Structure 1
Amino acid sequence: MIDADDLIARIRVYNPNTNEDLIRRAFAFGAEMHDGQTRHSGEPYFTHPIAVAGILAEQQMDDATIITALLHDTIEDTKAAFSDVEELFGREIAELVDGVTKLTNLQLNSTETKQAENFRKLFMATSRDLRVTLVKLADRLHNMRTIKSMRPEKQAQKARETMDIYAPLGGRMGMQWMREELEDLAFRVLNPEGRNSIIRRFITLQRETGDVIEKITADMRHVLAEANISADVYGRAKKPYSIWRKMQEKELGFSRLSDIYGFRVITQSEADCYRTLGAIHQRWRAVPGRFKDYISQPKSNGYRSIHTTVSGRDGKRVEVQIRTHEMHEVAETGVAAHWSYRQGERVENRFAVDPARWIASISERLGEGQEDSEFLEAVKLEMYQDQVFCFTPKGEVIKLPRGGTPIDFAYAIHTRIGHACVGAKVDHLRVPLWTRLKNGQSIEIITAEGQTPQATWIDIAVTGKAKAAIRRALREEDRERYIRLGRELARVAFENVGKKSTDKALKTAAKALVLNGMDDLLARLGSAELTSREVVRAIYPDLAEREGDEVDQRRAVVGLDAGWTHRRANCCQPVPGERIVGITYRGEGVVVHAIDCEVLADYEGQPERWVDLHWQEGNHKSVNTITFDLAITNDAGVLGRICTLIGEQSANISNLTFIDRKPDYYRLLVDVDLRDTQHLHRIMTALEADSNVATIARHRNPARAPRGPGGGE
């Protein structure tokens, strides 16, 4: 464990004017508050805050940030209070320590909804002072470096949280070194065998080919010397997790990966960056499609560099990054470049961009009405993005994440343009809306009056802004649809008790249920937030009990036009309680499918044939046939007992087909007539509990789908 003198010596290297007395007092106060506390490893607890302060000193942070690191657990884990820290070290440091405490208390590993809510709070805290996040990232880095002392299940939890949130957050702050180390430390916990296999392959490769990095570095230095360019050249093998991710994304084995080495050339000036690029391309063949100029088009976090991939020595592909010393400082330290010191004085790096602007832009783009889960999705998309730059017909630059589509482009211009989008031209050629845009392309959005966003756009769009705008528009459109559907559900429900669903009756029901008028009641009814039984009971509590009678099978489905008939699809065999949709067939009426039926994909291009349907509420008869795929042991009496189990659940077996007979087991399809999803689950639970049932699954067969002529009435 380093002492106060060692820590101050590290700080004085870059900041001779550091407040030594304040740091010594913080060191002593932290040691006193944590006295007697130990970590999981058995070490004194205060070794952790000291290590966090050391990490931040390596990033040349200011005194306030380093003191915050020394005290970051005092308010949470000791008897010290906010007022104590404020009295001893001032308001600024007290608020920073309190901010880190609040971030620590956010349970980012809990359920998705809670995680999303806390992620929103995290960004609110971050936007007030980014140094809070820097301390938290350093805190997580040291905890991951010492994670072996934790229980295995706790290690896995922390590693997954690190991989999902903290590593990409560090990268988005521009601290790429921290992202890579956090990813590698988490990878070591989550997939140790995968990581070790990558390392073993590297050792074997080095033994077979020698030190490739040193050879290629020497070649580059020679080429630059001949071109009279003064520059530093560094080479390294990529991190194990980076290689593993590429193997998974490209579905390639290690031996087929080409660009596993990376090289950096640090030049004296921006002009030398382009001269270096020319010299390298003259010496080695450039790989098409692997050139990016982040100097002329910087990333939103201030990152500037030229990226190119060339076929180097022995045909090996190598990635080369070219940048100046000033650009390199931002690339390595990211947001920490705002606190850079030179000769004891704070200096401003002209390339450093405050990530608080990015955080503020997220809040502005997503809006206050954004759902927590949608906010989390959008933030993760933002954090993992790599950008492409496209142009409007007027030459304006639009930044999009990699994989962005014309829909994202349209919404990036204006929400109104996005809503009205009906097509796009890329470099003057008409393209589908799902086209992935590339750097430098010119995009023209085609709009039409009356066009509204389509539900399929959510899957096409990749930006948080576009997805949020589409969902908001669809919710507004859905409200009108839900009102129409709710009116039909109300009509049927009131008719079942011999009454009419007049506007006056619906308004009275809305008032009794304390809702905001008739439309609110109908929208809730149509979206299944409210049941028709509750609406009827609000006015006619005595008559509502009659809704418990069995549902007439001719009216088992709600949403059909007058005169239409319906039947259940044999391919998916939907039952009451499941979400359903109808497809029209001439001469056959409407065929009812489960919403997740594979066959529905065949009708995506025929929206006029789709009908919104709901099951009628009430007790359905046991006439809905479901096919079970069963594997049972081949023992005497087993089949009879299975049939008895089904009968005990008040269900009837209508057919039984053996599809595989083996000496030790039978596999068979059993058709069972049942009422609804509750009845289905009860039967499956009873069968699963039997020791002679090896497997049970619901059997669905797309080949049994109706193949009749097209829709219409």
Structure 2
Amino acid sequence: MNLTPPDSTLPSAAPVKRVAPSRLKKTVSSEVSKDHPAPPNGVASITHLTNKLAEYLTPSELKKVKEAYRFSDEMHLGQMRKSGEPYISHPIAVAEICAEWKLDAQAIMAALLHDVMEDQDVKKDELIERFGAPVASLVDGLSKLDKIEFQSQIEAQAENFRKMLLAMARDVRVILIKLADRLHNMRTLGVMIPEKKRRIARETMEVYVPIAHRLGLNNIYRELQELSFSHLHPIRHRTLQKAVRAARGNRREVVSKILDSVNTTLSATGVPTQIDGREKTLYGIYRKMRNKHLSFSQVLDVYGFRIVVDTFANCYVTLGTLHALYKPMPGKFKDYIAIPKLNGYQSLHTTLIGPYGTPVEFQIRTQDMHRVAESGVAAHWLYKDEDGDLSELQQRTHAWLQSLLDIQKQTGDSAEFLEHVKVDLFPDSVYVFTPKSKIIALPRGATALDFAYTIHTDVGDQTVAAKINHEPAPLRSELHNGDIVEIITSSSSRPSPNWLSFVRTGKARSAIRHHLRTINLNESVELGKRLLSQALAMLNLNPALAPVVVERLLNESSANSMEEIYADIGVGKRMAALVARHIMGLLENQPLSLPLLDMEGSALPVKAEPVTINGNEGISIQLSPCCLPIPGDLLIGQLKRDQGLIVHTEDCNIAKRQRSKDPERWIEVRWAQGLNRRFDCRIKVLVHNGKGILARLAADIGESDANITYVNMDDDKDLMMTQLVFTIQIEDRVHLARLMRNVRRIHGVTRILRERS
């Protein structure tokens, strides 16, 4: 049944409500082109969609879906996609993908309406009035924040993702509709210019593919991967496609022989089975070739088989039968039934040596496992069990969605939020146990401290030690599958800045940063004041701002107070130079905005004073570990987001490279006078191997009034010469020069120099 209004194809159709010019979006979206005139017979039918929906929606729900379609059709009337199709064909396609998951009527309505707020300036209140608050909230969660001006495209993208993911945390249907939207856009990406194709494909690969994997949407996960790969690396994609096509013919006989043998053997067991041949995706082959440095001919397991059985027990019966038929490859068996993946995926995986020595992979699962493997959380997110309890998959998904809200509470910055979420979307996982045998899934590379934060933020904050497999272990110890982890806490313990260098999960990183920002707020505010005063002085502006200017600055910066702006500058979230230029713009019409004047009324040049440091300011000012500045060195400082001011020596090679890429984030720094403390410094000493040489070096360094905190030396004892690296604590460059002169006199020392990475 075609629900398009009968006269909508005619330009002069009177009965159809036309979109007012003010309603049309002023800027063209990435998927839309207003350059194409509407074809006279451009009709987009929803017959196929309504046939699908009639299978599980009630007549009253179907009626509401049709109303949403009519409204969307009216709003998008005259709007065309780059391909020349009527724009309404896109919402219909998105709704059809959602219908395959059997999403409810509200989700289908939101899919049909998902672009009306963004493209046609339809207000949320209007959608609430016409379709109800739940549908309006879904559409709002899917709409981009395109009315807000951002400093960069990256910032805008990050804020849009944050809005979408937080809406998803409240209602998972938001991300399901968004994934359907992205899937159809990727299917029709061919009409875009190459640069836009690559940008959208990269965004898809970095964010949407991991989300699809995290939610167990395997079909979409694989298709989005393939489409992104084809647009990011079109030549590689075509080359692999051609190679697989050729291999398919060469291996047809082998595959057919394996299939016949398996069918015959499994039939004899009496286990009802359904066997499907499965081919690796091109991206899967490409990733294996790249990660393992293999040629295409070395990737032998291009083909595999999926066996679906009736019961849980028969999965293991089938596995034993296959292992009796062909020899299994050592280390290639995985039991995802006993320990499911994070996204709820369950199967037995085994790789066998088939005829002619060809490795063949088998996946064995039940029908229910297969349904979850293909559709993931969409398979039964909306439906509870008969007793009303959430399934294990739903509980895990709910916990992950809740963690998004936890990260949001501790993260004020959208780019940082997206960074944390991307980390948690890392697909590879390790499975470890609590002392009470509860399984905890963590990203690959996670540490004992990540485990503590996964249990609870307060546990992580108060961690003092850890035991792995009942043995004491450092907090930075990387966890492996099967480890039993126990965390020891103390109410007096607090997070350390050093923890940020080794934690892996987004939740741990955001919690540590949140704590450090809170306890070091005063330091950050003070540093921010100094940096803003310096930036204002460079523009010949008086650092003392009038109340009216402060009020306008707070309104336009979405800040609650000047202390918040100072703190943001102090931790690198805002650039002092940009805030100063903003203030200069606000001052243009203010009599208080005059620069400092001399007696004749001309502007006085004001030289910006370098920021003065004494080296013990705390987390807001850090001495870079690459060059370890000491008093007497010429300094330069880099403002890094959420790390504050990182101080380098002026001749540091790393600082020179980074400064050339982003010069605006670098400022002048100098040492304060009368410092009364010691600083870390590295020296490298080349010596002849000989008895007692290390003892003589240590004694001489001690006699020079320096403290040794770390020693490293060459592993090869057979060499004539040995290189030793000492980390020592000294007062300044004069002290260091005196120490190096003393060490150089030691018999056996060939060379000594200060080491800088």
TM-score tier, shorter chain, comes to 0.5 to 0.7
The 8 Å contact of residues 231 and 268 in structure 1, kept in 2 or not, is answered as: yes
How many Å apart are 1:577 and its aligned residue?
A: 5.3
Q: State the secondary structure of the residue aligned to 2:308.
A: strand
The 8 Å contact of residues 300 and 358 in structure 1, kept in 2 or not, is answered as: no
- Within the candidate set 277, 281, 284, 2:326 is matched to 284
- Within the candidate set 51, 76, 97, 2:139 is matched to 97
Which residues in structure 2 correspond to 1:403-442 (within 5 Å)? 403-415=445-457, 418=460, 424-428=466-470, 434-442=476-484
How many Å apart are 1:85 and its aligned residue?
A: 4.2
2:71 is aligned with 1:29: yes
| Matching residue of 1:208 | 250
Compared CA separation, residues 81 and 157, structure 1 to 2 (3 A): same
- Equivalent-residue separation in structure 1 for 2:566 and 2:106 (angstroms): 56
Q: State the secondary structure of the residue aligned to 1:65.
A: helix
- Equivalent-residue separation in structure 2 for 1:548 and 1:106 (angstroms): 36
- Equivalent-residue separation in structure 1 for 2:149 and 2:357 (angstroms): 49
Q: State the secondary structure of the residue aligned to 1:296.
A: coil
How many Å apart are 1:567 and its aligned residue?
A: 5.7
Q: Over residues 293-343 of structure 1, what are the superposed CA-to-partner deviations in whole Å (9 max), with x where a residue is unaligned?
A: 33233334333333333333433333332221112212211232237899x
1:167 partner amino acid: V
| Matching residue of 2:86 | 44
The 8 Å contact of residues 425 and 443 in structure 1, kept in 2 or not, is answered as: yes
| Matching residue of 1:61 | 103
Q: Over residues 103-144 of structure 1, what are the superposed CA-to-partner deviations in whole Å (9 max), with x where a residue is unaligned?
A: 788999964444333322212211232222222211111111
- Within the candidate set 200, 213, 236, 1:194 is matched to 236
- Equivalent-residue separation in structure 2 for 1:125 and 1:230 (angstroms): 43
- Equivalent-residue separation in structure 1 for 2:308 and 2:186 (angstroms): 31
How many Å apart are 1:481 and its aligned residue?
A: 8.6
- Equivalent-residue separation in structure 1 for 2:667 and 2:270 (angstroms): 76
- Within the candidate set 687, 707, 713, 2:753 is matched to 707
1:152 partner amino acid: P
The 8 Å contact of residues 340 and 348 in structure 1, kept in 2 or not, is answered as: no
The 8 Å contact of residues 49 and 70 in structure 1, kept in 2 or not, is answered as: yes
- Equivalent-residue separation in structure 1 for 2:88 and 2:566 (angstroms): 59
| Matching residue of 1:124 | 166
- Within the candidate set 282, 301, 307, 2:343 is matched to 301
Please report the RMSD computed on the Cα atoms of aligned residues, expressed in angstroms.
5.1
How many Å apart are 1:547 and its aligned residue?
A: 10
- Equivalent-residue separation in structure 1 for 2:220 and 2:108 (angstroms): 17
| Matching residue of 1:147 | 189
| Matching residue of 1:462 | 504
| Matching residue of 1:583 | 681
- Equivalent-residue separation in structure 2 for 1:97 and 1:570 (angstroms): 52
Q: State the secondary structure of the residue aligned to 1:298.
A: coil
Q: State the secondary structure of the residue aligned to 1:389.
A: strand
| Matching residue of 2:394 | 353
1:395 partner amino acid: S
The 8 Å contact of residues 198 and 232 in structure 2, kept in 1 or not, is answered as: yes
| Matching residue of 1:241 | 283
Matched residues, number: 568
1:353 partner amino acid: Q
The 8 Å contact of residues 107 and 118 in structure 1, kept in 2 or not, is answered as: no
Compared CA separation, residues 317 and 422, structure 1 to 2 (3 A): farther
| Matching residue of 1:362 | 404
- Equivalent-residue separation in structure 1 for 2:526 and 2:67 (angstroms): 70
- Equivalent-residue separation in structure 1 for 2:334 and 2:248 (angstroms): 29
How many Å apart are 1:351 and its aligned residue?
A: 6.0
How many Å apart are 1:9 and its aligned residue?
A: 1.9
Which residues in structure 2 correspond to 1:500-579 (within 5 Å)? 559=615, 566=632, 572=652
- Within the candidate set 83, 102, 117, 1:75 is matched to 117
Q: State the secondary structure of the residue aligned to 1:3.
A: coil
How many Å apart are 1:228 and its aligned residue?
A: 2.4
Q: Over residues 158-214 of structure 1, what are the superposed CA-to-partner deviations in whole Å (9 max), with x where a residue is unaligned?
A: 212211222222222221111111121111111101111221221222233225544
The 8 Å contact of residues 338 and 352 in structure 1, kept in 2 or not, is answered as: no
- Equivalent-residue separation in structure 1 for 2:423 and 2:479 (angstroms): 17
- Equivalent-residue separation in structure 2 for 1:190 and 1:325 (angstroms): 35
TM-score by length of 2: 0.63
Which residues in structure 2 correspond to 1:254-403 (within 5 Å)? 254-338=296-380, 350=391, 352-353=393-394, 355-364=397-406, 367-369=409-411, 371-403=413-445
- Within the candidate set 148, 158, 163, 2:205 is matched to 163
| Matching residue of 1:596 | none
Compared CA separation, residues 113 and 484, structure 1 to 2 (3 A): closer
Q: State the secondary structure of the residue aligned to 1:385.
A: coil
Q: Over residues 2-33 of structure 1, what are the superposed CA-to-partner deviations in whole Å (9 max), with x where a residue is unaligned?
A: 63333222223455767443344433333333
Compared CA separation, residues 304 and 709, structure 1 to 2 (3 A): closer
| Matching residue of 2:741 | none
The 8 Å contact of residues 682 and 726 in structure 2, kept in 1 or not, is answered as: no
Q: Over residues 404-427 of structure 1, what are the superposed CA-to-partner deviations in whole Å (9 max), with x where a residue is unaligned?
A: 222322333455654566765543
With 447-456 and 13-22 compared, the bigger mean Cα shift is at: 447-456
Q: State the secondary structure of the residue aligned to 2:243.
A: helix
- Equivalent-residue separation in structure 1 for 2:495 and 2:361 (angstroms): 41
Compared CA separation, residues 318 and 109, structure 1 to 2 (3 A): farther
The 8 Å contact of residues 213 and 236 in structure 1, kept in 2 or not, is answered as: no
Which residues in structure 2 correspond to 1:218-237 (within 5 Å)? 218-237=260-279
Q: Relative contact order, CA 8 A, sep 6+: which one is greater? A: 1
- Equivalent-residue separation in structure 2 for 1:74 and 1:550 (angstroms): 53
- Equivalent-residue separation in structure 1 for 2:433 and 2:503 (angstroms): 18
Q: Over residues 252-300 of structure 1, what are the superposed CA-to-partner deviations in whole Å (9 max), with x where a residue is unaligned?
A: 2222234433432212111112222222333333344443333233334
1:181 partner amino acid: E
- Equivalent-residue separation in structure 1 for 2:253 and 2:51 (angstroms): 37
Q: State the secondary structure of the residue aligned to 2:78.
A: coil
| Matching residue of 1:657 | none
Q: Over residues 630-672 of structure 1, what are the superposed CA-to-partner deviations in whole Å (9 max), with x where a residue is unaligned?
A: xxxxxxxxxxxxxxxxxxxxxxxxxxxxxxxxxxxxxxxxxxx
Q: State the secondary structure of the residue aligned to 2:440.
A: strand
Q: State the secondary structure of the residue aligned to 2:216.
A: coil
- Equivalent-residue separation in structure 1 for 2:410 and 2:732 (angstroms): 31
- Equivalent-residue separation in structure 2 for 1:259 and 1:150 (angstroms): 35
How many Å apart are 1:611 and its aligned residue?
A: 8.2
- Within the candidate set 726, 729, 734, 1:609 is matched to 729
| Matching residue of 2:293 | 251
Compared CA separation, residues 235 and 578, structure 1 to 2 (3 A): farther
Compared CA separation, residues 185 and 211, structure 1 to 2 (3 A): farther
Runs of 5+ unmatched residues, structure 2 = 1-42, 535-549, 552-559, 581-595, 598-603, 617-629, 635-648, 657-665, 671-678, 684-700, 707-721, 734-749
With 21-30 and 349-358 compared, the bigger mean Cα shift is at: 349-358
Identity fraction in percent: 37
The 8 Å contact of residues 422 and 446 in structure 1, kept in 2 or not, is answered as: yes
- Equivalent-residue separation in structure 2 for 1:19 and 1:556 (angstroms): 68
1:707 partner amino acid: L
2:278 partner amino acid: R
Runs of 5+ unmatched residues, structure 1 = 494-512, 535-540, 591-601, 614-703
- Equivalent-residue separation in structure 2 for 1:68 and 1:451 (angstroms): 48
How many Å apart are 1:236 and its aligned residue?
A: 1.4
| Matching residue of 1:654 | none
With 193-202 and 243-252 compared, the bigger mean Cα shift is at: 243-252
Q: Over residues 74-101 of structure 1, what are the superposed CA-to-partner deviations in whole Å (9 max), with x where a residue is unaligned?
A: 3333475545544544443343333333
How many Å apart are 1:460 and its aligned residue?
A: 2.6
